[in-house]
Amino acid sequence: MYQEKAANQKWGYILLFLFFLFFIYGDLFPTTLITSFMPALLDVNTIFLSIVLEAIPFVLLGVFASALIQSFVKEETLERFIPSNPILALFPAVTIGAIFPVCECAIVPIVRRLIQKGMPLHVGIVILVSAPVLNPIVFLSTFYAFQTDLTVAWARMGLAFVVAVIIGGVVYARFGNSWQLKEAKGSLNHDHHKHRNKIAETFYHASDEFFDMGKFLIIGALLASIIQTFMDRDLLIGVGSGFFTGPAVMMGLAYFLSLCSEADAFVASSFNGLFSRSSLLGFLVYGPMTDLKNTILMAAYFRKRFVFAFVVIVTITAYIITLLFDLLYL
Q: How many CB atoms lie within 10 A of CB 329?
A: 11
* pLDDT band, residue 322 (cuts 50/70/90): very high
As a whole number, mean pLDDT of residues 204-220 equals 72
Residues 2-53: pLDDT tens digits?
444 455 445 545 544 554 554 445 555 555 555 666 777 788 778 778 777 7
**What span, in angstroms and rounded, lies between the C-alpha atoms of 68 and 198?**
9
The more confident residue out of 54 and 107 is: 107
Among the listed residues 245, 85, 106, 256, the one whose alpha carbon sits nearest the alpha carbon of residue 172: 85
Q: Specify the pLDDT at position 207.
A: 79
As a whole number, mean pLDDT of residues 118-124 equals 91
Q: Specify the pLDDT at position 257.
A: 83
As a whole number, mean pLDDT of residues 295-316 equals 94
As a whole number, mean pLDDT of residues 170-180 equals 92
**What span, in angstroms and rounded, lies between the C-alpha atoms of 14 and 12?**
5
93 has a pLDDT exceeding 80: yes
Q: Specify the pLDDT at position 160.
A: 96
% of the chain exceeding 90 in pLDDT: 25
**What span, in angstroms and rounded, lies between the C-alpha atoms of 3 and 213?**
25
303 has a pLDDT exceeding 90: yes
Q: How many CB atoms lie within 10 A of CB 28?
A: 9
Q: Specify the pLDDT at position 195.
A: 46
Q: Are 224 and 292 in contact (CB under 8 A)?
A: yes
Q: Are 130 and 159 in contact (CB under 8 A)?
A: no
List the alpha helices (DSSP H) in 95-197: 96-99, 104-116, 121-130, 136-145, 151-175
Q: Specify the pLDDT at position 183.
A: 74
Encoded amino acid at 326, one letter: D
* Bridge partners (DSSP) listed for residue 275: 272
- Residues 6 or more apart whose Cβ sits within 8 Å of residue 234: none
Q: Specify the pLDDT at position 2.
A: 43
